[in-house]
Chains A and B, each alone.
Chain A
Amino acid sequence: MIGEARFGMRQPADIAQEELEKAAEAAHRLGAKLYVNMNKLFRNHELEALPAYLRAVKAAQVDAVVFGDPAVLLNAREHAPDVPLFWNAEMTGTNSSSASYWGRRGASRAVIARELNEEEIVDLKAKAAMEVQVQVHGMTNIYHSHRNLLESYMQHLGREATLIRKGPDRGLYLVEAERPDEKFPVYEDENGTHVMSPDDICLLEALPELIRAGVDSFYIEPLLKSDEYNETVLRSYREALDRWHRDPEGYAFDEEALENIRRLQSPDRELGFGFLYKEQVY
């Protein structure tokens, strides 16, 4: 999945509109699909750019557009018909009925909230007549604001705002008083302020359960990780999925693969199952 901050949130880097075609070609040459992230919530003045971008996406023969804002849906129907649409409303994609709702309006895939547990994922996939994508690895966004909270804080302290360089991976963390061991990555960009989870999801061990549930796509979040880390993670999941497909009966979890990830895992960040085995209250 690629994109740029004008249309999609939290891309590790911007890939410009002019490069979409080259990127799609490169992916297709390797037998891979290329999706474009347009999951931002748009403002009136940002709508103007949607038609041209969607036409470029279509011309580049990109395999799908990821959206959260209904404005993208309306524009895609007109300017990129036939390009598959994936619905991703982040924290708010929580049940099969809402997934199906967007399915009936053109989405072929639902990207579901990271805050669902396994039972809910299984149930959602069983009931939604569309593809389901689950994040299996990496950090998750847990707070998004259109405010420039870091810049505001620097102003409050009377400091130069230069400390807060825009964009991800600036080494900024929040630490809550009662949780000194948890570091929450935080950054600002043109879309506002993003706070990220203090630990990384790692569902490598749970892959067979998710495959059996019928999950169609396993997403690895590369944000704020080194290339070496991302390559290792990707290889581990690739290898596990391939082994499963070759021989589901004989499949066994490869502890070594997890160890390889652990070796590169930042000591500040725990690897865990996210919300997969959790019960939440409210």
Chain B
Amino acid sequence: MADLRTDFIGIKSTNPFWLASAPPTDKEYNVVRAFKAGWGGVVWKTLGEDPAIVNVNGPRYGAIHGKDRQLIGLNNIELITDRPLEVNLREIKQVKRDWPDRALVVSLMVPCEEQNWIDILKRVEETGADGVELNFGCPHGMSERGMGSAVGQVPEYIEMVTRWVKQHSRMPCIVKLTPNITDIRKPAQAAKAGGADAVSLINTINSIMGVDLDIMSPSPSVDGKGAHGGYCGPAVKPIALNMVAEIARDPSTHGLPISGIGGITNWRDAAEFMALGAGSVQVCTAAMTYGFKVVEDMIDGLSDWMDEKGFTSVDQIVGRAVPNVSDWQYLNLNYIAKAKIDQDLCIMCGRCHIACEDTSHQAITSMVDGERRFEVIDEECVGCNLCVSVCPVENCITMDAMAPGSIDPRTKKVVEKDYANWTTHPNNPMAVKDAAE
């Protein structure tokens, strides 16, 4: 059985699954329940200065539902903890004492003044917590007051605050990044420059979940008005994966530990984040949707998969897919794939046909010899994968690579075996020319 124990920037946990700083980690009661359920660690919901902030007393969450009201995306306008600082610190201390083998990181957000950070760091240190996470990501409410994502959107501020934290505390420091920015590498570089031990991402994405068309108010509506909130859940996972990968493969941040966050719902999601460089993962929406029990399958699933693949420790997965994250210009233009429809699996819904016919390359039949039948026309297929994407039957349509040396019926050209990309393509005005020319 694979060893799931994790050492992330010196913070040890029984497994890489942490609960993210959010409502599930606001109180001792919830955190103890989480640890009993098997979570490897938590990032305690963000602490601020007294007097405690207040929350709206109307709806804080809004959701996007898929089929059968499956929760695909969640947004929230909840702020940082609304409990007194003293209460939180006392509980943190108690929990860490009771659960020494679990990671307990404390999320922090105070105004951008050095003294404010000095004050709170001192108090957190006294709890015996394993580390701190700087909340530079929260996109709503606190950002209007110059905190949260208002800091995370200015790399200079990130670097400045991170430096203060490292200067005034011996605790490991994770900087939590906001995705509400054009280039995620900049804040990550700033965090590293400030001395951060790690970054965690993504925080939630600015969003309006919908509009109540009866009252013409954004939803969720608080007495007829709505404010943008932070979007999370399965729907944001692809955005998060990209941002994690960008940091993992950027030469200036490569090797900087990453705690991956964003729509992780099961072990496979977690493994994907880890493959792209996350040394731990943080979960929130899945727990808020299904309860803490979801961690059981995350642990079993990851362990079983690792056994199956022959991995014995988490370190062996982390970053394993990073070398294969490339730029478009380096993709092999000589790789030629054609869609293939398994007629035994085909249920004749015709979605591949109409998608291709209406919106793409007219490469799938709807009739063959007067019979309803969907077949790929290799002469037209560009291998785009749209049919695979819209087919409701798994593995019914596959993309088959053409063998080098064969003739592509579309271009009538031989499939070259050698790798060739855009940088050397004749159509590229910027192509690297042969020195002899």
Is A bound to B? no
Could you list which residues of chain B lie within 8 angstroms of chain A, going by C-beta atoms? none
Could you list which residues of chain A lie within 8 angstroms of chain B, going by C-beta atoms? none
